[in-house]
């Protein structure tokens, strides 16, 4: 049975008003059109739904049974429409963001805090992983967007927006103060203990590119999983750490750390936003707009 849903809506309005004339005015269609629709519906269902009276129309037993279900269906549809409007108006929703722990801590936290103040009923979930895994999750629709410092090998199906330029380098604490007035070659740098991020991260890939292009092995003495740990281990003197300068502004200002100067310039990198261009939920689009506007 393939009955037009609109017929049920007309049935519901007639049953509610108990009068075809009143129903036609509410529906903004003619009385004959309403009567004809009821006849078609009765024929399709194989039963009489209304009996006429001097005051209007009354439901038959079959009509009462049908109405009990149609009322529930109309209520469900109304609730669904209300929820869709709430989603569009950002009264509730969910965003799944892919980012490294460091990017979340040093770049995303103030943006998330501001967004949460504006839209407190939108749930925000952070997925922390290496870039390749996050790209796979984005492809599979598990996450809505990625904020990353790695913009290599981004599939063409995704949109990439540059957010912020970051400046990375090698930094040390005052245990290595004898290096403050020196300019090192990468070969000389490699002879000192190094604190580096683990393989698989965008930052470690960048270091590996430097190693390969300059034919120098930059092998870590301490290999850690997050930039926060690189900073912590560098601050206690376990080695020279490769760190984003924007992460250690206070440490540099307070002379806890200093930059180890090299005879080559390291290229700038960018923090960027990756997302599916063809679809974003209203919640995710609003968040992407928020972070884009923040870094204009």
| 274 in the same domain as 259 | no
Host domain of residue 44: 5-88
pLDDT digits (tens, 9 = 90+) for 100-131: 888 898 889 999 999 999 999 999 999 998 88
Residue with the bigger pLDDT between 216 and 149: it is 216
The answer on 239 and 225 residing in a single domain is yes
**pLDDT, position 278:** 76
Residue 242 and residue 177 share a domain: yes
Phi, psi (5° rounding) for residue 238? -75, -10
What are the pLDDT digits (tens) for 185-202?
999 999 999 999 988 777
62, 88, 114 - which closes a domain: 88
Looking up residue 55, the CATH number of its domain turns out to be: 1.10.10.10
**Would you state the pLDDT for residue 249?**
93
126 & 173 share domain: no
201 secondary structure, DSSP code: S
Q: Mark whether 256 and 290 lie in a shared domain.
A: no
User: For residues 99 and 128, is the Cβ–Cβ distance under 8 A?
Assistant: yes
CATH of residue 145's domain is 3.40.190.10
Residue 89 predicted with pLDDT over 90: no
- What pLDDT does residue 116 have? 94
Checking if the pLDDT of 153 tops 80, the result is no
CA 116 – CA 63 distance, rounded (Å): 49
pLDDT interval class at 146 (50, 70, 90): very high
Question: Is pLDDT above 70 for 293?
Answer: yes
Q: Are residues 172 and 259 in the same domain?
A: yes
Cα(258)–Cα(161) distance, rounded to whole angstroms? 31
Q: Are the C-beta atoms of 280 and 288 separated by less than 8 Å?
A: yes
pLDDT band at 88 (very low <50, low <70, confident <90, very high): confident
Per-residue pLDDT at 75 exceeds 90: yes
Number of domains in the chain: 3
CB 29 within 8 A of CB 46: no
79 plus 25 within the same structural domain: yes
Whether residue 42 sits in one domain with residue 28: yes
Question: Burial code of 64-86, b = ≥16 C-beta within 10 A, e = fewer?
Answer: eebbeebeeebeeeeeeeeeeee
Q: Which of 115-124, 213-222, 224-233, 263-272 has the lowest mean pLDDT?
A: 263-272
Sheet containing 145-148: give its strands across.
122-127, 93-99, 145-148, 269-276, 158-166
259 and 277 share one domain? no
What local confidence, expressed as pLDDT, does residue 1 receive? Answer: 65
Q: Are residues 158 and 286 in the same domain?
A: yes
> Among residues 71, 88, 105, which one ends one of the domains?
88
- Is the pLDDT assigned to residue 296 strictly greater than 80? no
Would the pTM count as exceeding 0.85?
no
Say whether pLDDT at 97 is over 90: yes
Residue 36 sits in the same domain as residue 75 = yes
Same domain, 124 and 146: yes
Average model confidence (pLDDT) across the chain: 92
- For residues 61 and 48, give the distance between their C-alpha atoms in angstroms, rounded to a whole number: 9
């Amino acid at each position: 049975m393939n009955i037009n849903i609109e017929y049920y809506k007309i049935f519901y309005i007639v049953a509610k008003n108990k009068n075809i004339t009143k129903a036609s005015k509410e529906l903004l269609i003619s009385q004959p059109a309403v009567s004809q629709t009821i006849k078609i519906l009765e024929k399709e269902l194989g039963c009489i739904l209304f009996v006429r009276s001097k005051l209007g129309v009354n439901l038959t037993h079959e009509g009462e049974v049908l109405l009990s279900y149609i009322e529930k269906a109309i209520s469900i549809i109304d609730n669904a429409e209300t929820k869709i409007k709430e989603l569009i108006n950002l009264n509730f929703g969910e965003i799944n963001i892919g980012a490294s722990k460091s990017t979340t801590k040093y770049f995303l936290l103030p943006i998330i805090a501001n967004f949460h103040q504006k839209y407190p009923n939108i749930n925000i979930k952070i997925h922390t992983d290496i870039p390749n895994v996050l790209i796979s999750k984005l492809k599979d629709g598990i996450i809505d967007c990625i904020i990353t410092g790695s913009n290599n090998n981004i599939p063409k199906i995704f949109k990439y927006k540059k957010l912020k330029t970051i400046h990375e380098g090698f930094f040390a604490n005052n245990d290595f103060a004898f290096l403050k007035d020196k300019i090192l070659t990468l070969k000389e740098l490699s002879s000192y203990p190094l604190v580096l991020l683990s393989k698989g991260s965008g930052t470690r890939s960048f270091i590996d590119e430097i190693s390969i292009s300059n034919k120098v092995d930059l092998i870590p003495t301490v290999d850690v999983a997050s930039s926060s740990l690189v900073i912590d281990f560098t601050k206690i003197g376990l080695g020279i750490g490769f760190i984003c300068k924007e992460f250690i502004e206070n440490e540099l200002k307070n002379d806890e750390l200093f930059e180890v100067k090299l005879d080559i310039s390291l290229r700038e990198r960018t923090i960027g936003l990756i997302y599916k261009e063809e679809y974003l939920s209203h919640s995710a689009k609003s968040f992407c707009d928020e972070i884009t506007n923040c870094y204009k």
